[in-house]
Amino acid sequence: MQSQLNHIEHYQEWRAAKLAAWSRLKTEAAICIQDPSLLTSTEYQQLARQVSETNLAIYRFKQPDKVDRNIIQRFCEQIGMHQLDQNLCADKDSISALQVMPMGRAKGYIPYSDQRLNWHTDGYYNPPGHEIRSFLLHCVHSAAEGGSNRLLNHELLYIALYDVNPELCRALMETDSMTIPANVENGIELRPAQIGPVFFTNAENDTLNLRYTARTRSIQWKDSELIAIAIKQINTELESSDAILDYRLKAGEGIICNNLLHARTAFTNGNIPQQQRLLYRVRSYNRLFPEE
Ligand SMILES: [Fe+2]
């Protein structure tokens, strides 16, 4: 990746391939999985190819009623999610049940409400060494109305910025471009301030990663003209880019991704459990399909 981004001919080739793959993904059906606890080699290859091209795959389990948390865990292990993140609201098995929570620790967190969730990558506040590289969202029940996922491969965001001015990408790769202030609850520091880049590459596996939140409170951007222009351009892209994929997961469907940019629309639950949105979420420090 580093070499591709630094050499213009390689970059143009990479750019064309990424744009084409994302357009293809938008027209393709979800990948059907017969038994998520034991993938066939064809299913594995289909998922791996889709992720290597677009950082994302959408799947559909053929027998959704048989899926439980244990099966989700076994599915995650097979696709390379070995080191799981244990965040504040996750259960002991590192799976978070995302649903409307009127009480408890999750109360007050937007992911556990029916409100719109703005654009971000997961764990943008995590310390170095604990960056979220991938996550899974599995739909147990969708809401009566709304609750679509909005998805954008961050490689396409990089391309959009590069097309405007390559210097914008360079500025966002500076190691102090974005600071998340410390998380303090009742006078106790739960997490120190995190300073880091927005885009960053991994030398060991040649990949581009993103650390981003669209929130305007509790975030400090580096005082730089280029970064101010870049953030404005990112906002424009996230408001109106044709590349954005809107997908409303149905029961038994899910997404796996290399922590790409995502958002969620607001939703309204119905009166029966089957119309009350429930998603399982798993986050990992590993990228998907590391051996591919
Ligand atoms: Fe998220």
Q: Please give the backbone phi and psi of residue 243, each rounded to the nearest 5 degrees, phi first.
A: -75, -15
Distance 98 CA to ligand 1 centre (A): 10
Specify the pTM: 0.92
Distance 260 CA to ligand 1 centre (A): 9
pLDDT at 195 over 70: yes
- 222 falls within a domain: yes
Residue 93 maps to a domain: yes
Half-sphere exposure of 185 (CA within 13 A, CB side): 5
Asked if residue 118 is part of any domain, the answer here is yes
> Are the C-beta atoms of residues 200 and 211 closer than 8 Å to each other?
yes
In 3-state terms, the chain is what percent helix, strand and coil (to 5)? 30, 25, 40
> Is pLDDT at 86 greater than 90 in this prediction?
no
**Alpha helices (H) along 55-93:** 69-78
Looking at the domain assignment, is residue 238 inside a domain? yes
SS3 83: coil
Neighbouring C-beta atoms of residue 121, cutoff 10 Å: 21
Mean pLDDT, the chain, integer: 92
Q: How far is the CA of 259 from the centre of ligand 1 (A)?
A: 8
Q: What is the CATH number of the domain that holds 55?
A: 3.60.130.10
* Domain with 126 in it: 21-185+194-284
Number of domains in the chain: 1
For tokens 């222009």, the residue is 229
* Cα(213) to centroid(ligand 1), Å: 10
Q: Which long-range contacts (CB under 8 A, 24 or more apart) does 186-195 make?
A: 190/88, 191/125, 191/127, 192/127, 194/124, 194/125, 194/126, 194/127
Beta strands 278-284; 134-141: pairing state: antiparallel
Report yes or no on 289 lying in a domain.
no
Which pLDDT score is estimated for 166? 95
Confidence (pLDDT) at 57:
98
pLDDT of residue 185: 86
Q: Please check whether residue 4 lies inside any domain of the structure.
A: no
pLDDT digits (tens, 9 = 90+) for 147-186: 999 999 999 999 999 999 999 999 999 999 999 998 888 8
Q: Which of 270, 275, 250 is nearest to 139 (CA)?
A: 250
Does residue 9 belong to any structural domain of this protein?
A: no
Q: How far is the CA of 209 from the centre of ligand 1 (A)?
A: 15
> Model confidence at 6, in pLDDT bands (50, 70, 90)?
low
Per the domain annotation, does 235 fall within a domain?
Answer: yes
C-alpha of residue 13 to centroid of ligand 1, in Å: 30
What is the rounded distance in angstroms from the CA atom of residue 80 to the CA atom of residue 84?
10
pLDDT, one tens digit per residue, over 249-276 is: 999 999 999 999 999 999 999 999 999 9
